Amino acid sequence: MMVDPGTAYRERITAARNEEHRLTSHSRAFSTLRIAEFAAFVVVLSMGLGGELRPHGLWIGLCLMLIGAFTATAFLHERVANRLEIAAGRRRINEEGLARIGRRWDELPLVTPPAGFGERSVVKDLNLSGKTSLLQLAGTAETPMGRERLCAWLTDPPEVRSARARQEAVKELAGLLDLRQELQRRARSAGMTQTDEDELRRWSVSAAWYRGRPGLRAIIWALSVLPAIGIAGSMLAEWPVALPLLAAIVNAGVTIFFRLRLHSSFAVSERGEAVAEHLQPVFAEAASQKFGSSLLKELSLRILGPEGPLSALRPLERILGAAGLRGTGPFYWVIESLTLWDFHVLSGLERWRLRHGPFVAAWLDDLGNLEALSALATLGFENPEWCLPELSEDGSGLLSARGLGHPLIPAAKRVVNDFELDARGTFVLLTGSNMSGKSTFLRTVGINVLLAQAGGPVCASSFRLTPVIVATSLQIEDSLADGVSYFLAELSRLKEIVDAATKLSETSGPAALFLLDEMLRGTNSEDRRALAEEVLTFLMARRAVGIVSTHDSALAKIPSLSGVRRDFHFQETIAHDEGTARMTFDYRLRPGVALTTNARQLAEAIGLVPRADR
């Protein structure tokens, strides 16, 4: 049974809001109880130190009981706070899902791409990154590993076999809404940055500091038991209270002396805590699924394997849970002074790292793959009218699409077209007046091709594709700082496309798919016609395939290209109402060359020139 994504998201938002209201009242009650326990501890401690409570064992015991009660209450309060955070996170994720369906970009977070990704020509031209982009629409990959993998899949097309394997996994994950949302929520809660990932990878294979110093470990063990001996003596044998206090002061001094080393070790390992606490349950959920797709089966086997994260992350989570004592304020110093707690936690961390650290990088890679697959699956779930494309290797027709639309345009406003690209060494000349839809159509073809080759769904009712390498020249920028004119920048972009086509023509691999918008607009019409003929002839000789858009119909009259060119156009409708011209566009692709222009009408509409009928 098909699940309506909007209905599913709205139901989950309601459930999450109800849970938030319930847990908020519980959190307030625990806050009140913690204040009362802390106040009681201060009163008992003051009375004991002032000699008003005798014997020593009574007030020391009461203080220890209150410390224990406060710690237990803090633990329970933290559990409630965590559940409240989980409910809020689930609500936000479903709210973002509704925003993606409606293409309400201002309600969606911007996605930080890998370094250098946004500078690539195809990324700029096809709106892959930034505001109102494909990366924002498929923005459920929360870790740097997931975003890097998704971006790589979009811009570095794989072999057809690999893309088909991803399709199989994407199709299966599209039906696992709980798993996908839990993965996103936990990955977001981890809050991992690229710096965090780099540090975690280095930490996982670095040398042990504390366990490599057996002398220091022996001293720490001896110091850590002295306060307990002193407290027992004070309670049972009336030893001076100053003895355990002195031992605690010495231990506090030892911690302060090693504070920089301890801080650096715990700061990096906290990234491990994020992985253990937030993602271990996701690995467990993924491993519990009976997957049918080959990629997800392999992932599940690695998770469950002897060096997989499922068994290894449980002890790490316990160790780093103990390290959480550092965030309890004054009581941290009480426990640390009595037990040298941080050194024992650090010993456990280093022992774990020596055993499991070499496998952390593989776990992070698996997580990145799972996130990227989940992001593509979410696209398919939220857009049920889209399809998974057929990827072909036989070379019979490069692209054939029915109901092809732009994925970033809301479904209610999207106009779809049927379109085909024939064999290599041919191109489509797309003509039409200003604002008729030529540039959008070029982006429609390019962005869907990249989605298809990444293994994801495409915005079409059917889509068949033979592998291609997309090269674009749609959005040219000049540079005053570098002294680069618009025309020179355009020529440089064309040179990149020609070089790519030349390189690909020398192999038996995919063809170059070039998308050129208003080709050579930076020069006069005579030079444009001559240069266009020469460049396109060169590309056809290199067996490239592409689409060239222009509002200059003279390019359709180049005889030497007539045998390798097909003509299509967009047109506008102009209606005159009481002397005012109203212009509409239907964005429908039609065969042939455009026969109309609208430059004069647009100039009249904005008052640049007077109407011709006056």
Per-residue pLDDT of 330-350, as tens digits, reads 777 778 788 888 888 888 888
Q: Which residue has the higher pLDDT, 323 or 601?
A: 323
Using the predicted structure, report yes or no on whether residue 202 has a pLDDT greater than 90: no
The total number of residues shown for the chain amounts to 614
Q: Please give the pLDDT value at position 327.
A: 63
Whether residues 161 and 276 fall in one domain: yes
Angle between helices 56-102 and 214-236 (to 10 degrees): 130
Burial class (CB in 10 A: 0-12, 13-18, 19+), 267: exposed
CATH of the domain at 222: 1.10.1420.10
Whether residues 127 and 220 fall in one domain: yes
Q: Please give the pLDDT value at position 384.
A: 95
Whether residues 498 and 354 fall in one domain: no
Bridge partners of residue 387, in order along the sequence = 458
Using the predicted structure, report yes or no on whether residue 597 has a pLDDT greater than 70: no
Whether residues 426 and 479 fall in one domain: yes
* Cis upstream peptide for 55 (omega within 30°): yes
* The token pair that represents 108 in the structure block: 């969606």
Q: Which residue has the higher pLDDT, 58 or 464?
A: 464
Whether residues 143 and 273 fall in one domain: yes
Query: What is the number of domains present in the chain?
Result: 3
What element of type H or E holds 512? strand 511-517
pLDDT digits (tens, 9 = 90+) for 519-535: 887 677 788 888 889 99
Burial class (CB in 10 A: 0-12, 13-18, 19+), 124: middle
pLDDT digits (tens, 9 = 90+) for 298-322: 999 888 888 888 888 878 777 877 7
d(Cα 459, Cα 403) in Å, to the nearest integer?
A: 8
Distance from the first to the final alpha carbon of the chain: 63
Using the predicted structure, report yes or no on whether residue 465 has a pLDDT greater than 80: yes
Whether residues 368 and 445 fall in one domain: no
Of 70, 322, 365, 336, nearest in space to 204 by CA: 365
Q: Which residue has the higher pLDDT, 154 or 288?
A: 154
Say how far residue 253 (Cα) sits from the centre of its chain. 44
Q: Which of 57-66, 238-247, 454-463 shows the highest mean pLDDT? A: 454-463
Least confident span in 120-134, 246-260, 430-444, 568-582: 568-582
Confidence band, pLDDT 50/70/90 cuts, at residue 378: very high
- Going along 339-446, which residue ranges are E strands? 390-391, 399-404, 417-421, 426-431
* 109 within some domain: no
Using the predicted structure, report yes or no on whether residue 177 has a pLDDT greater than 90: yes
Least confident span in 35-39, 86-90, 438-442, 486-490: 486-490
Angle between helices 341-356 and 214-236 (to 10 degrees): 140
Q: Quote the domain boundaries for residue 30.
A: 1-104
Q: Please give the pLDDT value at position 483.
A: 45
Confidence band, pLDDT 50/70/90 cuts, at residue 489: confident
Using the predicted structure, report yes or no on whether residue 269 has a pLDDT greater than 70: no
* 612 within some domain: no
d(Cα 457, Cα 383) in Å, to the nearest integer?
A: 9
* 112 within some domain: no
Model confidence, pTM: 0.84
pLDDT-above-70 percentage for the chain: 88
Of 173, 177, 172, 23, nearest in space to 94 by CA: 177
Whether residues 80 and 154 fall in one domain: no
Whether residues 495 and 575 fall in one domain: yes
- Which contacts of 596-603 are long-range, i.e. CB under 8 A and separated by 24 or more positions? 596/433, 596/571, 596/572, 597/433, 597/551, 598/433, 598/434, 598/435, 598/436, 598/572, 598/574, 599/433, 599/434, 601/574, 602/434, 602/435
Q: Please give the pLDDT value at position 537.
A: 93
Least confident span in 5-14, 107-116, 487-496: 487-496
Concatenating the DSSP letter of every residue in 94-106 gives HHHHHHHHHT-GG
What element of type H or E holds 311? helix 309-323
Three-state secondary structure along 188-218? HHHCCCHHHHHHHHHHHCCCCCCCCCHHHHH
Whether residues 282 and 378 fall in one domain: yes
Q: Please give the pLDDT value at position 123.
A: 93
Q: Please give the pLDDT value at position 56.
A: 62
Of 201, 376, 385, nearest in space to 275 by CA: 201
